[in-house]
Chains A and B, each alone.
Chain A
């Protein structure tokens, strides 16, 4: 079994990978096997950074031959190094899994010796897990750019999801910060995994090949690309590489010895807005061009859907009892679920504002953009709506002031000591 010291080293080195989702796969348990996958994914814990812990996120090794400036595991960085064997990983996964600590494995690795050698180790681990340990839980494998395509393809028959990180939103940034990596080595396997031969027209994805598809990740804020650039790239990848998700990671400085990277952390709100915009691309029928404003960046004050609606006030208000599903989805305060509920409920009777409240529409946002039975109770002035949206956003993030807000006051209140 892996010891605590090596576990900590290998996890510390893997933790900056954002993806931890265990969704998209319906893998069933086998007779005498352990585990299955839940299509919606399951979170098993939440760490103090607010991120969900669903998979055991670990590297096989952090002994990297590359020296990418932004990476914690770069060759020149003086950090403790460790390597685990495939058997140690498999044993840890099964022990954690049966105690319900995790939903599966997220396995990545630094590039050891060569990309092919590393990919072979990853493949061996996942194959062992499936065939010797009879593990049927979720497995997300990180692909190694530059590895042989046959190895990647074979791994796809054992893993639920494979991802290749495009790391930086532009080729220029990638060349500057990771000169040993090249764009084509990352893009080529993504293209391969999106090939039609892996798809079943009825099932949409072949049952025995990457049931949860492929994803990618990029770091935001370490290079000068705008949100518009990032979202355009995202949109292109969704359309051309059949990606399930694009993950964004706010830049956290880990290398203070280079002038190529900023020394300050990027605010989490930027990452949050990008995720909201990403949601609009995937489920709300928006295009990247529609989402970003004139300056190419997303508003940090309110969400991208509100920002779009305020820029296009001429299209509103819409009548909820007659509006098309596509238009309902564009109303701030109406999500995919509530749009569906509205469409179902209005078959029975005409809806008013009280009905919408019952359907769990966020009325404090929606009232400015809708009418119910011809009645409008919102605000028509663009400036006023902006203020209301900002106030709504602030209220959601506000904390109740406490007389004993500071830690010292709390202790003082309990002990009576001044």
Chain B
């Protein structure tokens, strides 16, 4: 049993693919170097990230599977699934083996696993784009904090950049201490473990009260269906949706 250890980055994955093909090795698993724990039942192969070989693999993937393939692999790597690296590796390897776009061959396990994982991440990005709540600071910057399952901050922020126009905003992933900062023109991704401290705008509290009042008033008591509410608006996403707090 052979295990590849590589960097949990797109170039790390592509470097692993390069080695796999040039040395004709098909690893059982591909594991992130940062989380790897020594095992006695496997032969370990450490892969160093190499930009040049990664570029060659990237070119081949673009050639066989179209323009979106690298973006999809990146989405897969942002999944919280501990096997995401292996799943992305197997999918990309299958493309290179078949030398064509196989994204619709869902009867293949490697394709359906990959497709499922990508869908899960994109689904979370979609629902969080609705459930995120911004607060306005006194200086006019909007600030939102959340704790998603998957690492979606970098694919979520462009949605708000398009939407909020020139209004600067910060999205803070509390779970990973990751922040997306927008000045209204571009987005910068950074890491911080400092808590956000800022003064709220003058009418922030009044707007919050209005929203709470709206949430209460729009409900039809005679049609109570909290089961459906729980199904669509799972409790883990309600942590920052203050209107639902009792």
| A7 close to B219 (CB less than 8 A) | no
| A42 close to B129 (CB less than 8 A) | yes
How far does the alpha carbon of A53 sit from the alpha carbon of B216 in the complex, in Å? 11
Q: Is the interface of A mostly helix, strand, loop or mixed?
A: loop
How far does the alpha carbon of A34 sit from the alpha carbon of B161 in the complex, in Å? 10
Greatest chain A CB density within 10 A among B107, B126, B206 is at: B107
Min Cβ gap B243→A in Å is: 6
Q: A49 at interface (Cβ–Cβ under 8 A)?
A: yes
Known: A53-B218, A56-B214. A99 touches B135 (CB 8 A): yes
8 Å CB contacts to B: which residues of A254-280?
Answer: 265, 268
| A32 close to B166 (CB less than 8 A) | yes
CB closest chain-B residue, reference A355: B107
CB closest chain-B residue, reference A351: B107
| B134 close to A99 (CB less than 8 A) | yes
* Interface size counted on chain A using CB atoms at 8 A: 59
Which residues of the partner chain B approach A358 to less than 8 Å between Cβ atoms?
106-107, 109, 112
CB closest chain-A residue, reference B135: A99
| A98 close to B166 (CB less than 8 A) | no
Q: A101 at interface (Cβ–Cβ under 8 A)?
A: yes
Min Cβ gap A385→B in Å is: 27
Which residues of the partner chain B approach A42 to less than 8 Å between Cβ atoms?
126, 129-130
| B104 close to A345 (CB less than 8 A) | yes
Q: A314 at interface (Cβ–Cβ under 8 A)?
A: no
Q: A378 at interface (Cβ–Cβ under 8 A)?
A: no
How far does the alpha carbon of A54 sit from the alpha carbon of B191 in the complex, in Å? 32
8 Å CB contacts to B: which residues of A1-17?
Answer: 1-2, 4, 7-8, 11-12, 14-16
Contact with B along A125-141 (1 / 0, CB 8 A): 00000000000000000
Which residues of the partner chain A approach B219 to less than 8 Å between Cβ atoms?
15, 47-49
8 Å CB contacts to B: which residues of A29-67?
Answer: 29, 31-36, 38, 40, 42-54, 56-57
| B213 close to A7 (CB less than 8 A) | yes
Which residues of the partner chain B approach A98 to less than 8 Å between Cβ atoms?
134, 136, 142, 164, 167
Instruction: Point out the residue from A11, A96, A101 that lies within 8 Å of B217, measured CB to CB.
Output: A11
How far does the alpha carbon of A34 sit from the alpha carbon of B162 in the complex, in Å? 9
Instruction: Point out the residue from A7, A38, A47, A345 that lies within 8 Å of B107, measured CB to CB.
Output: A345
Question: Interface with A: B9-17, B36-44, B85-93, B221-229, which one?
Answer: B221-229
Which residues of the partner chain A approach B105 to less than 8 Å between Cβ atoms?
344-345, 347-349
How far does the alpha carbon of A34 sit from the alpha carbon of B232 in the complex, in Å? 27
Q: B2 at interface (Cβ–Cβ under 8 A)?
A: no
| B217 close to A344 (CB less than 8 A) | no
8 Å CB contacts to B: which residues of A197-253?
Answer: 250, 252
Size class of the B contact interface (CB-based, 8 Å): 35 or more
Q: B177 at interface (Cβ–Cβ under 8 A)?
A: no
Which residues of the partner chain A approach B214 to less than 8 Å between Cβ atoms?
7, 11, 56, 96
Instruction: Point out the residue from B144, B221, B229 that lies within 8 Å of A46, measured CB to CB.
Output: B229
How far does the alpha carbon of A45 sit from the alpha carbon of B132 in the complex, in Å? 10
Known: A7-B210, A34-B165. A252 touches B107 (CB 8 A): no
Known: A12-B217, A358-B106. A99 touches B133 (CB 8 A): yes
| A45 close to B164 (CB less than 8 A) | no
Instruction: Point out the residue from B127, B166, B207 that lies within 8 Å of A99, measured CB to CB.
Output: B207
Min Cβ gap B162→A in Å is: 6
Which residues of the partner chain B approach A103 to less than 8 Å between Cβ atoms?
130
Which residues of the partner chain B approach A347 to less than 8 Å between Cβ atoms?
104-105
| A95 close to B127 (CB less than 8 A) | no
Which residues of the partner chain A approach B213 to less than 8 Å between Cβ atoms?
4, 7-8
Greatest chain B CB density within 10 A among A31, A265, A341, A346 is at: A341
CB closest chain-A residue, reference B129: A42
Q: B65 at interface (Cβ–Cβ under 8 A)?
A: no
How far does the alpha carbon of A103 sit from the alpha carbon of B129 in the complex, in Å? 10
| A47 close to B207 (CB less than 8 A) | no
Q: B8 at interface (Cβ–Cβ under 8 A)?
A: no
| A95 close to B241 (CB less than 8 A) | no
How far does the alpha carbon of A274 sit from the alpha carbon of B123 in the complex, in Å? 27
How far does the alpha carbon of A217 sit from the alpha carbon of B227 in the complex, in Å? 25
Q: B52 at interface (Cβ–Cβ under 8 A)?
A: no
Min Cβ gap A13→B in Å is: 9
Q: B236 at interface (Cβ–Cβ under 8 A)?
A: no
17 CB < 8 A contacts A-B:
A4-B209, A7-B214, A29-B163, A29-B165, A36-B163, A42-B126, A47-B218, A47-B220, A48-B225, A50-B228, A54-B130, A95-B207, A98-B136, A99-B133, A99-B211, A348-B107, A358-B112
Q: What 3 A-B pairs come out closest when comparing CB atoms?
A: A50-B228, A50-B225, A344-B104
